[in-house]
Amino acid sequence: MGPRLWIVHLLLGFSSGLPLLLTASTLQVWMTELGVPLAIIGGLASVGLPYNFKFVWSPFIDRFPLPFLTRRRGWMVLIQVLMMLAIAGLGFTHPEQSVVITFAVAALVAFLSATQDILIDAYRRENLPDEKMGYGLSLYTTGYRLAMLVAGAVALWSMQAYQLSWPTVYTGLAACVLIGIFAALIAPESADATAQTPKTFEEAIVGPFKQLFSTKNIWLILVFLLLYKLGDNLSSSMTAPFVIKHGYTKGDYAKLVKGVGLLSTLAGVYVGAWVMEKITIARSLWVFGVLQAIAILSLYWLAQDSRVAYMLPYDVIKQKLWFLSFAIFCEMFTAGMAVPAFNTFVALLTDRKFTATQYALLTSLVALPRTLLSTPSGWIAGQLGWENYFLFCVLTTIPGLFLLSKVAPWNKNAANS
């Protein structure tokens, strides 16, 4: 994989990761500051539903290339331009006055982001050989997490340091989409992948599902994809309100949850890729799944301390920042370790002829716990309390590990599965 393709995957990862926090934790912080009820903030996860249903319109994108650039790149540029405008528009909404409008614009950003993901995932699968998939995913993840740093830590830190308004911050972040446009313009595209374009719309719709659902144990595999990261998604969906409501500032959140979290995740990704190479994908999924469950207990421990700490003056709370640092490190490092194995497992289920639709379907299932199943997370946290909520998150990891014994048993002999 040459330097040009290396840069493209890194930058496309950045473009893919940028919108996510702008409709999730960054927007949650904004709404929390404005006094929006916790149950409504938890419901913000529902705006991510386009990530779960992107397979519905992916055959259209797969079948009909635009009349400029190439099969994937033309669509990428168009979607990224529209997304840049939508992100800027989100910053000019008023959640405290009309949360419906804010939710609607956030849902539009999520729709455009999900469409971009269809294209980027298909591009990566079509332009990388199977043996380079893990390496490409590591580059993509690095760019993705750097974008999350910008959309989270940099945005919140700049607001506190320079007294910037939310519209100003969102407009500046919208301009960062230009990075993805540049990547799409310079990206090479495999002639072989373009030649495999479905010849009819019927083939583009029926073919991917017919081929995918002929895979052995496909129904168990699909449920496994749905549940494997459920506990991690539920715990991370409430991290921002948990931190802010217990006395920490936006600056603390930016430096620790986003700064420490980014470094921990990237370290976990590369450690996970190395471990996967040594012990196979199947065993890696087992090890990383168990570690993710254990890591959530660090948030439970933090919740026990915060139950007392949030009643104390800030100068006392600040002395306890290492508690927060440790908990975030544990959660983010183990989540990062799972990325190469889990995403490679997903990618190898697809057929190159039907990449966009199959990858969209599979990643839609992967995103479901982060959106639809995480929607009531604020209500659950309010009912259970933070300590019991994180214990609940640990329990939700068990079904995914049970299914793992069926779809990827520990002693599976396949070298890379």
Give the integer Cα–Cα distance in Å for 132 and 193.
Answer: 16
Q: What single string gives the DSSP state of each residue in 347-381?
A: HTTS-GGGHHHHHHHHHHHHHGGGTTTTTTHHHHH
Residue 415: band (very low, low, confident or very high) from pLDDT cuts 50, 70, 90:
very low
Domains of the chain: 1-198 (1.20.1250.20), 216-348+385-417 (no CATH)
pLDDT tens string 78-133: 999 999 999 999 999 988 888 889 999 999 999 999 999 999 988 888 887 766 77
Q: Residue 58: pLDDT above 70?
A: yes
Split at pLDDT 50, 70, 90, the class of 414 is: very low
Give CA–CA dist 150/25, Å, rounded: 13
pLDDT > 80? residue 45: no
pLDDT at 194 over 70: no
Indicate if the pLDDT at residue 405 is higher than 70: yes
Position 249: which residue type? T
Residue 277 has a pLDDT of 79
Structure tokens at 154: 């940099």
Distances (CA, A) of 85 to 11, 89, 156: 19, 6, 21
- Of 67, 34, 44, 52, the C-alpha closest to 369 is 52
Contact assessment for residue 21 and residue 152, using Cβ atoms and an 8 Å cutoff? yes
Give yes or no for a contact between 305 and 242, defined as CB atoms under 8 angstroms apart.
no
Mean pLDDT of the chain: 83
Give percent of the chain with pLDDT exceeding 70. Answer: 88
What confidence tens digit (pLDDT) does each residue in 253-287 have? 767 766 777 788 888 988 888 888 788 888 889 99
Asked if 367 and 225 count as a contact pair (C-beta separation under 8 A), the reply is no
Task: Judge contact between 128 and 136, C-beta under 8 A.
Answer: yes
pLDDT tens per residue, range 323-356: 777 778 888 899 889 888 888 888 888 887 788 8
Residue type at 238 in one-letter notation: M
Whether the pLDDT of residue 310 is over 60: the answer is: no
* DSSP track, 61-125: HHH---SSS-TTHHHHHHHHHHHHHHHHHHTT--TTT-HHHHHHHHHHHHHHHHHHHHHHHHHHH
